Each structure stands twice: as structure tokens, then as C-alpha cells.
Chains A and B, each alone.
Chain A
Amino acid sequence: MNAVSDMRRKSLLTMLQAAPLVAVLLVFFGVPMMTVIVVSFCDYEHARILPTFTFDNYADLLRSDATLRLYLGSIKFTLFAWALTLAIGFTVAYFLVFHVEGVILQMSLFLVCTIPFWTSNIIRMISWIPFLGREGLFNHALADLGVIHRPLDFLLFSDFSVILAYVHLYTLFMVVPIFNAMARIDKRLLEAARDAGASRWQTVRQVVIPLSRTGIALGSIFVVALTMGDFFVVKVMSGGQSSSIVAAMYNEIAGLQFPPAAASAVVLTAVVMAFVAAILRVVDVRRELIG
């Protein structure tokens, strides 16, 4: 009896402790999300949402070729951005943690990584435009060196420039969690691996990667969610040549067509959640963080 009431009191206490967060999530996430879901089933006419239940928004969305193309386009960008930010992020974190001696130097170099983030995303992105343009610095430099005779067009307003901007903008989101995970690896494990005759590559593969997978998973979630939900980088860096799921949504909102935009938002949320679920299936982030 006593044990049961004790447990009850404990669970009540736990619920009370969680209550503020639940309340915040309900108000700022639950309610807006529910609104979006409700609106996605509404009909509409000029700037007016009609409260009649319809599947048309979803039917239109799922039947359109554009939807598939948009998703394939966004997934392509996401894969490139994810692979490159992971490769760079992992390398940078590895260097900082295992090759830099002394915590002070380590932390200062880590802070150096964040310096570009002292300016806004938009400025960092837009600075590429005069650099990569047809009349830009890079083309001029190549031409002066005699490497090229006519400017390279693919550098700007292309898939290349979009991926470049993603990697530039999002690599830090990979560096930070991986750095954090690696910093907690017991250095003696690496020595033990070396003593056991493992090569450096074997150590990385069999010791470092498994032990930093929480960081890799968290970083991947950041990069995937940011890239899938982006519309501004694609719009600016592709010069409007490529689109993204959210850019299409933005066009709908601009036309005050909220229900189809809401339907598109619901589908995108589901897809991104599926990605995140897949990542979490591979790595149990919660357990690793506690453990």
C-alpha cells in the first residue's frame, strides 16, 4: 500500500514538474499545429477560408507533378548538404577534440568556428553573389590567371551555389553536437585501441564514430530539418531558378490561398518527422544523452 501511494505521489510530482513545458508546447506548438491541420481541410475563395470540409487541398497537392518534383529537388539538396556538412563537421570536431592539446586552446578554436555566425545568415549568403557572379571576383581571378576564357555561369544561380550556401550556413550545426559528443569520449579508449593494434582509421570507425553517434544524429536532425524547411536560400542562391517545398507554399500564401498552403505544411511536417524518426531509430539519442 505504502509503496503504491509513494509511487503515485512521485508520478504526480513528475507530472507537475513537466507541466510548464507541456503548457508552453500546447500553446505555442499544439494550438498552431492544430489550426494548420484544420485549415488544411477547409475550402477557400479569394482571401477567404470557407469552413466546409474538403480533401481537395490534399488531392490537388498529391496529384500534382510539381509536388513530386519539389520533394525530389528538396531531398536532393538535403542529401548533398547533409553529406558535406557531416564530412566537414566531423573532421573539424575530430581535429578540435583529438589533435588540439589543452582545453583553453580547444575552446578558443571552437569559438573561432562561430565567428562567421556573428553576422546574419542573410549577409553571409548574399556575400557569395558578388563573389561568384559572372562579373564576380572568382571569375575575374580565373580569367586573369588564364584558366578560363569566358566566365563560368554555373557558379551562381545554380544548384552548385545553393548547396555551397547550405554547407556554409549549416556546417556549424554539425560541428557543435559532434564536438560535444566527442569531447565526452574517454581518451583512454583511444589509447586502448592503439595498444590493441588498431590503425587510426580503425579507431575512428570502431571507437570514435559509434561513440559520437548522438552528436551525428542531432546534427543530422538540425541540417535535415533546416534544409527541408528552407525557402530563402534556394530562392536567392538559385536566382529563382529552383524552387523548394516552402517556396511553393510561400507563393500560395502570397496569393492568400491558405488552405492549400496548410495542406502542404502538414505533408512537409509528416515527411520531416519521418526523417527524424528514421534517424532516431538508428540512434537512441535520449538514452545516449542520459547515459
Chain B
Amino acid sequence: MSNDTTASLGQPVTRRQALARVAKTTAAATTITGFPLVWAQNIKDVKLLQIGGSYSNMAEIANQASKDLGFQVSMQATDDNTQINRTLTQPSSFDINDINVFYLEYFLGRKVLQPVPVAKYKHWEKTVPLFTKGQYPDGKRASMQGIAPIKVQYYESREAAKFSATPTEWLTGVPSVYNADTLGVRQDLVGRKIEQWKDLLSPEFKGRAALIDIPSVGIMDVAMALESRGDIVYGDKGNMTRAEIDKTIAIMLELKRSGHFRAFWSNFDQSVNLMASGEVVIQSMWSPAVTVVRSRGVQCNYVPLREGYRGWGSVLAPMAHLSGLKLDAAIEYLNWYNSGWVGAFIAKSGYYSSVPSTAKKHLSADEWGYWYEGKVAASEIKDAFGNAVARKGEVRDGGAFWDRMGKIACWNSRMSEDRYLTKRWNEFVSS
């Protein structure tokens, strides 16, 4: 974290603190247009670089940001490992971190990220309560299995050394992209309705099922299936005990030996090809991969299951080295990000915005109805690049926003026993 954020009583007030106070006192009444002339002139020279997953770090979004904001925003897509390594070892080499929330724990106390003051973020009031309070709109508490976003949404203080379970003035980042994950199914080849997670392990799909080869996610998909089958009841599927890991891996080993799994995929394209070729009929899958299979004219569904979904989400976190004008620009960018255009863009990949009311303004009534309300498509639905993903008369798998996000059983996670899990997973794959 930069020095000017550690000021305490008696030290001179820095420019940023002054700005924060002004922002707080003038509150929501201030709009972007009220900036001093100097700011407006110098801001043109600011360059911001964001890194993160390929699904949300695209030139289209960066170009639109640069156009709307008047300074240059660029994006680099990275895989998770590169992103974490770079955050820890070269934190000054970029400005905005678009990071999966379950990784945030890695950065606690490392002084690589800086908090976003709630006072400076315009959309917090309108943000989905899943992120602001860990609740659904009706006040019901969301699942706390795994790393639920609310567990890592607030810092205790601006020092960003500890998370706070209850709301504070300091956000770990601005919620960006999130979704509810489930199983992908070749509806034309399975021959029946898939309604429960246990179907992933059903003997009728022997040799035609696949699993994601990422230990923490793969084991969770199996855990959902085992719980659904009644084999094991987990305390927390997102944070298993050693005994739970052992029990799960033992069953997985048996399944593997019997030839139940056709493959274990490790990237997006593999999952698409397994499904599109019919090599596999039921598997762990990501929403846009299902969309790609469908755009090839193959009937692939992202089926809603009785036990619920596996949820995940990302935040945009400013890096600690930002200060002064560049920090102002970064905050401005975060406010722009959730002001609607991006929300609409990612909606067309099946992802959700944390401020849906702003995204709605940038979607047609038909698109909003299809992606968010579970309504029948009145015309052909296209993705952000113009490819048709749903025909007239189709409904989104799983239906409306809260029918999907309201049924999260467990969140993507990094377990306390991850060292042990990796070891056992390696044994599983090598057996």
C-alpha cells in the first residue's frame, strides 16, 4: 500500500484523504462532471492496465472504457496462476486487478492491493445484496459454503490487513463478473431429463462423463454429486476436512478405475470439443463453453439441478501503487465499469452484473427478458459478437436471475487443506 494511506491523527492530510472527505461530505450529489480543470487536462495522459481472466478482459471493453472516460484503459488476459504470481511479485506492473474473490486471501497483509472506499464508489447502494450483505433481496442469507463473496468483500480498515464479515467503509474491490455454474449436458444424447447432481456419477453415463481437472473445483463438483447421492454429508464442501477429502477421493478412485470418466479437461476448448463431438454427454462446464457448443448447432444445456449451483465471482481491485491522479482515474474507471455498458456486454456471455439496473439500460427488452428474467426469447438472441445463441421461443437454462443466483449451494473456494488436497488430487490423476 502507498504511504499516504497510512496517515493517522496528527499527520498532514494528504490529497487523497482530502478528496475522500470531500467526496463523503458532498456524497452522492456530486457527479463526474464536477472535476477541476487541471484534472480534466492531465487525465488524458493517464494509462490504466487491467489484468484478469480472458472472459472479462477483452479489447472491446477496454476500447469502450477509453472512449467513454477520455483516458487510455487497456487489458491483458492471463490465466489464474500468472495473475496471482504477478500480483505478488510485480504488483506495480499493472493498475487494476480483475481477480476471483477466492484468491483475495492470498494478498491479505501483502500490501499489493488497496481498498476502495465505499464513499467513492457510486453504485454500492444499487449493488445486488448478495455482495453488500451476503443476502438475497428477501433478506434470506445466501450460502456460506466455500468462499462466499461476502466473506471477502470488506476490509476491517484501510490497512487492508483483515477481512470484515460485517459492512465497513472499505471494499476489497468492486464486484465485476459472476455466475452460477452447473453441469453441461448433451440433452439429445442422454435420453432423459437430468435433474440432480448425482446424475454425473450415474452408471448409465459410464465412459461418457468428464470432470474439470482443477483440484478445488473438480472435487467440489464430485462433492455436490456425492451429497446428492447420499454418500457423504459435508460440513462445508468449500472447505473440506482431511477425512472428507479422503472419503471423496476414495470414491473418485473407484469411479476412475471402473472407467466412469472419459476425460478430465483443463481448458475451455477441451470442454467444448468433448461435448460438441459427443465423446462426453455430461460434465463440469462453464457457461460460455455451453454457448459455444450451441452456436455450433449442437443441443447442449446448462441444466438447473435440484441441489443448486456452484457460484463464483470476481472483483476489480486497484493496486496499492496507485496514487494521486492515477488513483482518481482508477476510481473513475471502477465507477464507469458498473455503469451499464460492461454489464450489458458480459450479459451476452451469460454472466451477471453486480448492478443489474444499469445493465438493463444497455440491453434491449428482449435481451433483458432472456438473460435476466427467464422469459421466452421474442426473437433470435445474439452474443456480444453477433453469433446467434438462442432461437426465438427459447428460454435461458435455469431461468431468471434469482432462480439461478438464488440457488447457490456452494461458492468456488480455496480450502484450508489445499496442500493436502493437491497431494491427493495428484494421486487420483496418476492412478
> Interface residues, chain A, CB within 8 Å of chain B?
46-47, 60, 64-66, 69-70, 73, 129-130, 133-136, 153, 156-157, 235-236, 239-243, 247-248, 251-257
A47-B106, A251-B215 known; A240 and B266 CB under 8 Å?
Answer: yes
Stretch at the interface among B127-135, B163-171, B396-404, B422-430: B422-430
Q: Are A69 and B430 in contact (CB under 8 A)?
A: yes
B351 at the interface (CB under 8 A from A): no
Is there contact, CB below 8 Å, between B279 and A251? Answer: no
In the bound complex, residues from chain B placing their C-beta under 8 Å from that of A69 are 427, 430-431
Chain A residues with Cβ below 8 Å from B421 are: 255
- Taking the complex as formed, is B261 at the interface, i.e. its CB lies under 8 A from any CB of chain A? yes
Say which residue of A46, A60, A156, A239 sits within 8 Å of B423 (CB atoms): A60
**Smallest distance from the beta carbon of B1 to chain A beta carbons, Å?**
18
Minimal beta-carbon separation of A85 from chain B (angstroms):
24
Residue of A66, A235, A242 near B427 (CB, 8 A) is: A66
Task: Spot the interface stretch: B2-10, B173-181, B270-278.
Answer: B270-278
Residues of B within 8 A of A135 (CB): 277-279
CB distance from B153 to the nearest CB of A (A): 19
Q: Are A251 and B426 closer than 8 Å at their CB atoms?
A: yes
Residues of chain B with a CB closer than 8 A to A239's CB = 210, 262-265, 274
Indicate if the CB atoms of A255 and B429 lie closer than 8 Å: no
**Partner among B213, B270, B277, B430 whose Cβ is within 8 Å of the Cβ of A66:** B430
**Within 8 Å CB of A240, what residues of B?**
213, 263-266, 429
Please name all residues of chain B whose beta carbon is closer than 8 Å to the beta carbon of A73 when the two chains form the complex. Answer: 430
B84 at the interface (CB under 8 A from A): yes
Q: Collect the chain B residues with CB atoms within 8 Å of residue A242's CB.
A: 429-430
Are A255 and B279 touching (Cβ within 8 A)?
A: no
- Would A251 and B422 count as touching, CB distance under 8 A? yes
Given contacts A47-B84, A47-B88, A47-B106, whether A153 and B426 have CB atoms under 8 Å apart is no
CA distance A252 to B418 in the complex (A): 10
**Residues of A contacting B431 in the complex (Cβ-Cβ under 8 angstroms):** 66, 69
CA distance A253 to B79 in the complex (A): 13
* Structural contact, B430 and A70, CB atoms closer than 8 A: yes
Mostly, the B contact residues are helix
B36 to chain A, nearest CB (A): 41
Which residue from chain B places its CB closest to the CB of A232 in the assembled complex? B266
The residue on A at minimum CB distance from B85 is: A256
B:373-431 near A, CB below 8 Å: 414, 418-419, 421-423, 425-427, 429-431
**Assuming A236-B270, A254-B214, is B261 touching A241 (CB within 8 A)?**
yes
- Interface contact A157-B430, CB-CB below 8 Å: no
Bound together, the chains give a CA A90 to CA B213 distance in angstroms of 38
Q: List 29 A-B contacts (CB under 8 A).
A: A46-B105, A66-B427, A73-B430, A130-B277, A134-B278, A136-B277, A153-B207, A156-B279, A157-B262, A235-B266, A239-B262, A239-B265, A240-B213, A240-B265, A240-B266, A241-B263, A241-B264, A242-B430, A247-B429, A251-B215, A251-B422, A252-B422, A253-B81, A254-B80, A254-B214, A254-B215, A255-B418, A255-B419, A256-B84
List residues of chain B with CB within 8 A of the CB of A60.
423
Residues of B within 8 A of A243 (CB): 426, 429-430
Contact residues in B for A157 (Cβ distance below 8 Å): 262-263
B415 → chain A, closest Cβ, in Å? 10
- Cα A153 to Cα B261 with chains together (Å): 12
Residue numbers in B under 8 Å from A256 (CB-CB) = 81, 84-85, 106
A134, B263: Cα distance in complex, Å: 13
| A109 to B421 alpha-carbon distance, docked (Å) | 52
Give the docked Cα–Cα distance between A251 and B106 (Å).
17
A-chain residues with CB within 8 Å of residue B215 when the two chains form the complex: 251, 254-255
Q: Which residue of A lies closest to B259 (CB)?
A: A153
CB pair B426–A248 under 8 Å, yes or no, is yes
Complex interface: chain A residues within 8 A of B88 (CB): 47
**Contact, CB under 8 Å: B277 / A251:** no
A132 to chain B, nearest CB (A): 10
Nearest Cβ on chain A to B431's Cβ, whole angstroms: 7
Q: Using Cβ atoms and an 8 Å threshold, which residues of chain A touch B278?
A: 134-135
**Beta-carbon nearest neighbor of A46 in chain B:** B106
Given the complex of chains A and B, what is the CA–CA distance between A251 and B215 in angstroms?
8
CB neighbours (8 Å) of A133 from chain B are: 277, 279
Question: A130: which B residues are within 8 A, CB to CB?
Answer: 277
The CA of A232 and the CA of B383, in the complex, are separated in Å by 32
Which A residues touch B430, using CB under 8 A? 66, 69-70, 73, 242-243, 248
Give A70 to B427 CA distance when docked, in angstroms: 9
Contacts of B256 in A (CB 8 A): 241
B45 vs chain A, min Cβ distance (A): 34
Flag B69-95 by CB within 8 Å of A: 1 or 0 each.
Answer: 000000000001100110010000000
Q: Let me know if A129 and B427 touch, CB within 8 A.
A: no
Q: Which residues of B contact A65 (CB under 8 A)?
A: 427
Shortest beta-carbon contacts, A-B, top 4: A240-B264, A239-B263, A243-B430, A66-B427
Contact with A along B98-119 (1 / 0, CB 8 A): 0000000110000000000000
Complex Cα spacing A129 to B422, Å: 28
Most buried by B among A64, A133, A256: A256
Known: A69-B430, A69-B431. A251 touches B105 (CB 8 A): no
In the complex, A60 Cα to B431 Cα: how many Å? 18
Task: Name the residue of chain B whose CB is nearest to the CB of A134.
Answer: B279
CB distance from A120 to the nearest CB of B (A): 15
Alpha-carbon gap, A73 to B429, bound state (A): 12
* Chain A residue at minimal CB-CB distance from B216: A255
- Bound Cα distance from A236 to B422, whole angstroms: 20
- Measured CB to CB, the closest approach of chain A to B416, in angstroms, equals 9
- Measured between beta carbons, the chain A residues less than 8 angstroms from B427 are 64-66, 69
> What residues on A are CB-neighbors of B274 within 8 Å?
239
Q: How far is the CA of A247 from the CA of B418 in the complex (A)?
A: 17
Given contacts A64-B427, A254-B214, 9 further A-B contacts (CB under 8 A): A66-B426, A69-B427, A70-B426, A130-B277, A134-B277, A240-B429, A251-B426, A255-B421, A256-B81
